[in-house]
A and B are shown apart, each in its own frame.
Chain A
Amino acid sequence: MEIDGNTLVLVFVFLFILYSNPSGDGVTSQYEYNQLQTLKAQYQDEYSQFQNLTSDNNFRNITGLRLSYGDVLRNPDINATYPIEGKDYDHWYSDEKYTLLPEDVLHEVNNSVWQHGKNVYPANLTSTLHGRVVNSHGNYLKVPMPIPEYYEPAQDLSQNQPAFNEPYFTDPAGREAARNITFDEGEIVIEISSADTTSSFFEDEHHFHNSQSDKLRFLHMNLHFSDPAYNEKHVINTKAIYDIKNGRIMAISESAKFHSLFALPHYINLKSEDEAFFNAVKTLVEEYWNATDFVNTRSMAYLQDSYATANFKCEFLAFLQLEPWWGYSQEQLKIVDEELMWPLGRRANLSSLPPVNISSGIIYSPDCGIKLQVSNAHGLRYELQVRKMRKLLLCGALLLASQIYLLLSQMQHTNTPSMVNKISYWCFSLMNLVDGSLAIIFFVLTSSIPVLYLPLIMCSFACLILASVFEIRYLISVYASQANEQSVGIMTLLRRSTEGEERRTPTVMPDEASISTSLYRTYIVKMFFSMIVILSMTTWPQSVRMPIECIIIFLLNSYWVPQIARNAIKGNEPRRRQIFANDGPQHQRQNKMPLLWSFTIGTSVIRFVPVAYVYTVPSNVFYHHQDRLFVAVVALWLVLQMGVLYSQEIIGARWFLPNYSIPEGYSYHKGISSGELLEHGSSANYTIDCAICMTDVAVYVDDIDETHKVDKDSYMVTPCGHIFHTQCLENWMSYKLQCPVCRAPLPPL
């Protein structure tokens, strides 16, 4: 292509369009630009007020902090427009006149949640804690928290300037219902991460230098609470201050109606009311503000998100007390932290590290009047949890490797079509479904847990190899060896003969390439559907998910049932009779069981161990509920299946079938009549040409006595009436179960 001036201009225009709109902060209109500028100006103004704030000074014109619980108590219909008449802005005491909290909540925080006395607490709290939460239905007034109107989207296209009012309309009923917490007792999950990491989708990662990291930490905390059945879920994103010396955590949610960042110094100082401590926290907030460049990094996405949060969620203040780590000194904790962050083999004794435990706490919502009590929320340090998961994944990889080995030895064991023919297609199809889905699950997890990328991708790869190479390969050969049975009824299969049934025209058997194409196609479709089902199942409420999960696991653990059925169809002699009946190699081969016992037992154990782990180990990494009864049922079911398989080997595959349904199987070794002999164009000494080796076959003719010396085992008569040497046909049948002359399907040996 020739590049001239016009092309260059075109390229520049194209690049201009590509990069110019929308700009980095997501503004797409004049209105939005003004909206964002207003937000920034508001934050800047509030920050300058915050800088002048002292420990004995009240909040002035800061969004969400204009009113106190006492103001509302005095006048329930109070309007929060600054300045409020008669409000004391020049003092600060931690009582309900000045704070957002009612007196009894304050009392509880100070006396039963936050404890006296300094102790040793872990400095780094990054972890996920699980605990109980109780809704104590107190009768609290709601402090009105209006959403400033400039947060609202434009009413029409001509509107350029956002309004500045703060409307005090009553909440619509629907919104109220979505926000309210109705359960009495539920579960709480607290995700704690350091402020260096991203808190939400709309904020970038910042590394900020905390000059007082030995005393205070700035945290992001996500609180999830739900009722035990997971019908009602609430998620709150908060910013928190952690007072390391006292083990206190104070977290406040943030939204369009509550600019809570500025409230942190006052509220963590509720108990001690210490000026130096107030100033330290204030410095920390200022450091965070400057490091994140808070005003300039506000984007349109942030604005819209905090508007949505303000509309649909309550604001919360959480006061949590950590349990001390008894018996650790500061130096030991430092070593532990370093070892967790950068493992080198220091003497940290990580295995005996206690969990992070929030012994008590109160979560209070001023605008919804809800009080929740948290107790005993505990969990392992994040790095330890990751180690635990890594170990589990390594065990999983080991299981997968042994499964691959067992499958390979099983494939070696059944290396002829006649042997493969006895394997059940559905048995391996079920295993294949599980392994393929596992590969997908592991792969999806790699993106959600990037720390464990390597072990996860290795497990995913091992599953993929197992499912889509080895198992599919085996399925293809099973399918190919059973292709000639597809048009045959089950009774005929049991009888192993085609007598009495209308002979169909021999179908053209599909070759392996076309079988593998179709099997891979179904495999991919199956994987796709199971992925959708699994992903959607994780979001179902527990009451629905639990029984379905149990049923699915039970069904997926019934993989030997199809094999039992297949054994019954193919039929084999009891072992005792096999030992006594030494009538030639054919019998031995016909009676070999298709599955290796090492494979059967090994596979059952390998597939049972993960289920047992998830359902019986209380500290399992999936936080899955415990159900020992179900595990016992699955184990019994597997043992029962294997027991039936064993009984089939010992007393015959068809012992559970009634006698009349077990007719004689087809026998290749039989005498023929002289009529048939004539049909084959016999020669003078009653022999027939073997179509395979083109030499004579001596046959046993029932009505000619001279031929009765001939051993019936030395030749074979196919159901379609063709006659071959035993050796010739058996060799042929280890490649294909089709008559070499007329392509009619042959019953396998």
Chain B
Amino acid sequence: MSTDTPQGLNNFPITKFCSLLTVGIPIFASIAGVKHWFLLYNDPFISEYKQYYRLLSFQVSAVNETDVALLTLIWYHLRHLERLFGSRKYLSIITLSWFYSSLTVLILAQVFNLNPLINWNRFTSGGLPTIMSVLHFYKEYTPQMYQFDVKLIKPFGTRSKQLKWTFNDQFVINALVAILLLNQGFVGVATGFLSWLCGVFIDKGLLPGSEMFRVPFFKQKSSLRPRQTSSIEAEAGAQAADDQQSSATGDRADEEPNDEPARPLGVQFLNTFRM
């Protein structure tokens, strides 16, 4: 496996799907005026109104714009996991994380509420629990690529000592996750911690399913198309294809040879504006 991550999200269907949904559902919700579908409060939604659908929907969409941006960025950073596991296993782990983290948070909230001093009423909105659970896998299975030190020489006057901070290549995602947790207040941090534990337990097999469970009806696409392999291979392949074509003109007489590169529809649209 090459150490370079492929450009774009062409070969990351699940990452693409998750990012698009993270952005698309909130946009739809604000256009349709149904943002409140994705809110979850114990009181009044569950205890009084009995709106149990919210137990399923509270992780689907974030209500706050900042959360939407953060979650999308984090999904993008987690794409290495999809490359590592393959799309189907990745989706299975996301599904498991969603299920177990929702369950854990909801049950533990009820347990905490038995204590009369604690009143856990508000739940986080958006996929924070799922993300935190998947983050454990990211930390566990993606190798650290590099690290660097930031040294501050005598930052607080002449008498102070030198400060040294070590960063690695994952510091961006760490920062994003930290903001995501803090952005929803204490509930965010608590939920995040519990869901991260979920991730650990799923990985260790304490919460069953990570080895057995696979998402059904999943069609694995061939991960790389021939054109996206290295350029030499591509050229060779193209030549071979050309040879084949020239030898097989007899049975494919009505197909046009590529004497001029066909312009895809997208290019045609762009050409319209080149005046």
Residues in chain A within 8 A of chain B (CB atoms) = 343-347, 387, 390, 394, 397, 408, 411-412, 454-455, 458, 469-470, 472-473, 476-477, 512-513, 516-517, 585, 727, 731, 734-735
Contacts and interface: CB of A to CB of B under 8 A. Distances in A.
Contacts of B269: 469-470, 473
Given A412-B265, A473-B268, A731-B256, A345 B275 contact: no
A345 to B, nearest CB: 5
B256 A345 contact: no
A476 B36 CA distance: 45
Contact of A343 (B36, B44, B45): B36
B228 interface: no
17 contacts: A344-B36, A344-B39, A344-B45, A345-B36, A345-B37, A345-B39, A345-B45, A346-B49, A390-B32, A394-B32, A412-B265, A454-B31, A472-B272, A473-B268, A516-B275, A517-B275, A734-B256
A454 B26 CA distance: 12
B53 to A, nearest CB: 10
B175 interface: no
Contacts of A517: 275
A585 B254 contact: yes
Interface string B32-48: 11001101000011000
Contact of A735 (B33, B44, B260): B260
Interface of B: 30-33, 36-37, 39, 44-45, 49, 51, 253-254, 256-257, 259-260, 265, 268-269, 271-275
Given A516-B272, A585-B254, A727-B253, A345 B33 contact: no
Chain A contact residues: helix, strand, loop or mixed: helix
B49 A345 contact: yes
Contact of B33 (A346, A387, A516, A731): A387
A517 B256 CA distance: 31
A552 B272 CA distance: 31
B265 A411 contact: yes
Given A343-B33, A727-B253, 13 more contacts: A345-B37, A347-B49, A394-B32, A411-B265, A469-B269, A469-B272, A470-B269, A473-B272, A512-B271, A516-B273, A585-B254, A731-B256, A735-B260
10 residue pairs, one from A and one from B, having the closest CB atoms: A344-B36, A454-B31, A585-B254, A473-B272, A455-B31, A517-B275, A513-B275, A345-B36, A516-B272, A731-B256
A408 B37 CA distance: 34
A517 B275 CA distance: 7
A631 B114 CA distance: 64
Nearest to A458: B31
Contacts of A734: 256
Nearest to B273: A516
Nearest to B37: A345
A258 B93 CA distance: 74
Contacts of B265: 408, 411-412
Contacts of B272: 469, 472-473, 476, 512, 516
A731 B51 contact: no
A516 B51 CA distance: 55
A477 B32 CA distance: 37
Nearest to B41: A344
Contacts of A472: 272
Contacts of B51: 345
A243 to B, nearest CB: 32
Nearest to B45: A345
B33 A390 contact: yes
Nearest to A585: B254
B274 A513 contact: yes
A390 B269 CA distance: 31
A458 B29 CA distance: 13
Contacts of A513: 274-275
